[in-house]
Structure 1
């Protein structure tokens, strides 16, 4: 037990299986597929996170009068891989100065640069207690710090109020402005950009097959086997080795196939490329892409254009297509701010990070404004 505020206590949970899905999701985790018990449990049960992966589950559970009132997905980290909010330079500087940056406490969804709740509770006091417990766990355990990545803007403000430093980064998201069809979306673009996307979509279909969008029971085991090959190829080239295990995709099918949208390019009935998305309450989240054949523009079609098609057809308000990628701008995905929180035990190191974050935030704000101005939309279409 690490924190007690009258009837409120916060404890560490070494495996998510120690809490029921009803207790975890009942705190509000169900609105975002990545913070659900079933997603985080699939990561642990499949061995995608754990001792060998360097992500040691250390979830926080807040209770009021013994009842679960809040949770936070946390991990003891021995590296900075799979986070997408980069602190490698901080680690190098700290260790050059004689400190030990790892292990650290990370509140995050592993391998997932997706904005969503991290302090999962209905009561702001419980959320604040979860943050304070993170700092206390890190301090008492001799960790260098505690970090909350891809949290909501409201959580970032709360974190600042309890002594965490906030960091602003950027991603590219597509917003549904009431479009009834993909053509309605194109009509909002400048003529040159509209023509470029239409030509790009035509060229993408030259691979000589068909593209299907599958969810739920329409996704079959052979589809996952094909996607595993795609994921291995992309993961091997990007990270050296894939983060997720093969067993993870079996568990994803078993417990979350209704949350999945798998977009596949088929030729003669055989998948040659694919993109995996997860479906949220109002957002489609693009996660992984891969292929066994290279074809011009097929990546853009499966990952970006088909995602917009599906979001419009199903009344979703947003498509989040993953980390980085200014190439998304020309395809209607505009820069938006993402947020993280950071607490470090060493006060001198904390002052240096705070100075860096201030200058970085100014640069990010400037970059977002410039990129928005360069976007593909006609004047007056966005505010």
Structure 2
């Protein structure tokens, strides 16, 4: 087995990569990763430099770890700024570091893609050796695997990584037949609030439509980009993604994208962009150029829950953070990362940091679980 460090998706054939792609996770698709590069969303401007660890047997690609050499901590959503500050305070470089993650995407899914016809344990072990080799040659301070699935925790911990817990809010489809079926499972007050928020959309004269497939043309991508910029302006965020990125994914990933558009008097005033693959749905971006009550909740939550129910999807991840999601049917969920620090003193300090952080998060998780919007289980006929 040969492990090659590939610094651009353009060096890998699309047909060779396709058999490795995840069944439910669109962000490891060749087209998504290639669009990030081709659009100028990576590199010096944002501090993400592709370093894919590709495993070959007889020139056949049998596995790959998606990773990036990082010169900052922007766009990761697992925050290590305090760690970096600690390094810098002692005049020890924290960057570069090696991060296995999907740029600007706080969504859970494997970044270690393995061909089912080969020994997956062997591929993992060889990739891990190659990671350590690159760390030495590049003077990296650390390795970070972000938003990893739960079934990978034991393997990374066994390789000497510290496991770190974070929290998001996810929606699960319990075989709902329609949106009213979902509402029937909520506590009365919560269901009433959701109905009121949805009613406000029509009362304000806002029209909603979902665009998929051939409807996702360049005009749609360019209009959505303006909404993306509007959100960044409001939050003083960084424009990691370029206009060309949206043009490329709207063209190459039409079968993965769900664009939810709000119009007022015939003009687009807001939109949300989600990605679907298999039975999972991921809400990623949203923006608006006008203010309407409850519009964010309608585009980013309720319309996507409606869509997930109609399509029989099992999971909807609506992005990072947001305790307000609980009262709208989302439940607190753990997310996971794994970290290896190569400075002995900082390794011990960060291990203690992670243990204390987990203790605090356990309390927050318990509080959130006690705020569940769902009624105790009652077997009853669907209202649909």
**Matched residues in 1 for 2:108 and 2:223: separation?**
28
| Contact residue 132 and residue 162 of structure 1 kept, 8 A | no
Give how far 1:30 is off: 5.2
TM-fit CA distance, 1:381: 6.7
For the residues of structure 1 that align with 2:126 and 2:252, how far apart are their CA atoms?
A: 31
RMSD over aligned CA atoms reads 1.6
Distance in 2 (CA, whole Å) between partners of 1:361 and 1:135 is 27
What residue number does 1:80 align with?
73
The 5 A counterparts of 1:117-196 are: 117-121=110-114, 122=116, 123-196=120-193
The aligned counterpart of 1:103 is 96
Deviant stretches of 4+, over 6 Å = none
- Tell me the distance in 2 between the aligned counterparts of 1:282 and 1:124: 27
Per-residue deviation, residues 216-250 of structure 1 (Å, max 9, x unmatched): 11223322222111001112333533110000111
Q: 1:128 to 1:381 in 2, by over 3 A?
A: farther
> Is the aligned partner of 1:89 residue 2:82?
yes
Q: TM-score of the superposition, structure 2-length normalised?
A: 0.94
Residue ranges of structure 1 left out of the alignment (5+ in a row): 1-7
Which residue of the partner structure matches residue 347 of structure 1?
Answer: 344
Confirm or deny: 8 A CA contact 2:21 2:28 kept in the other structure: no
Out of 131-140 and 67-76, give the one that drifted further: 131-140
Alpha-carbon contact 1:204-1:298 (below 8 Å) kept: yes
Please point out which of 275, 281, 286 is paired with 1:284.
281
Matches within 5 A, 1:188-267: 188-267=185-264
Q: What's the CA shift string for 1:237-292, capped at 9, x where partnerless?
A: 33533110000111012110111000000122211000000012111100001000
Secondary structure of 1:257's counterpart equals coil
The question of 1:34 aligning with 2:27 is answered yes
1:364 to 356, 361, 365: 361
Paired residues for 1:327-338 under 5 Å: 327-338=324-335
CA distance in structure 2 between the aligned counterparts of 1:370 and 1:299, rounded to whole angstroms: 25
Query: Contact conserved, 2:213 with 2:255, CA < 8 A, in 1?
Result: yes
Q: 1:62 aligns with which of 55, 64, 74?
A: 55
Q: How many residues align?
A: 375
Scaled by the length of structure 1, the TM-score of the pair is 0.94
Q: Does the 8 A contact of 2:48 with 2:69 survive in 1? A: yes
Aligned to 1:25: 18
Distance in 2, Cα, partners of 1:148 & 1:179: 34
Between stretches 227-236 and 63-72, larger displacement belongs to: 63-72
Q: Go from structure 1 to structure 2 and tell me whether the alpha carbon gap of 1:207 and 1:153 turns closer, same or farther (over 3 Å shift).
A: same
What runs of 5+ residues in structure 2 fail to find an aligned partner? 380-384
Map of 2:312 onto structure 1: 315
C-alpha distance after superposition, 1:151-198 (max 9, x if no partner): 111222210011111111111000001100110111111111111111
Q: 271, 291, 308: which is aligned to 2:268?
A: 271
Structure 1 residue 136 displacement after superposition: 2.7
SS of structure 2 residue aligned to 1:258? coil
C-alpha contact (below 8 Å) 2:216/2:251 kept by paired residues: no
